[in-house]
Structure 1
């Protein structure tokens, strides 16, 4: 009996051959997906208008509390006094 093992990426959308793994983050959740070049280009094209209008953040600090500058006044939300 012969066993043949193929090592390669499979496109997660259609099961065909994939050329690359694409990583992205949405609503604080990181994703990665194996895609053909055609599907990877389609994903990037679909996200491009949103990315162009968005602000960039530094990775790893989403949701982290912001530090107050030394000497800056402490702001208290109305009704929280």
Structure 2
């Protein structure tokens, strides 16, 4: 089985979502399940570089009092296999 975990938050945005994704991928690694993690580009990369792919940059969009991280890039399709 191969699993691709996609997270819209990069390592630079710590919090509940990132913690959940990180813990999930650690459990997959411990169980020797083949997986990759896809996140937006970030300034720091402390995660396992072998299984971590960073694509695109995020932009914060303010809407209705909340902020959304959105990845917009016309070149992102070249980075995704």
Normalised-by-shorter TM-score class: under 0.3
Q: Which has the larger radius of gyration?
A: 1
Greater relative contact order (Cα < 8 A, sep 6+): 2
TM-score (norm 2): 0.25
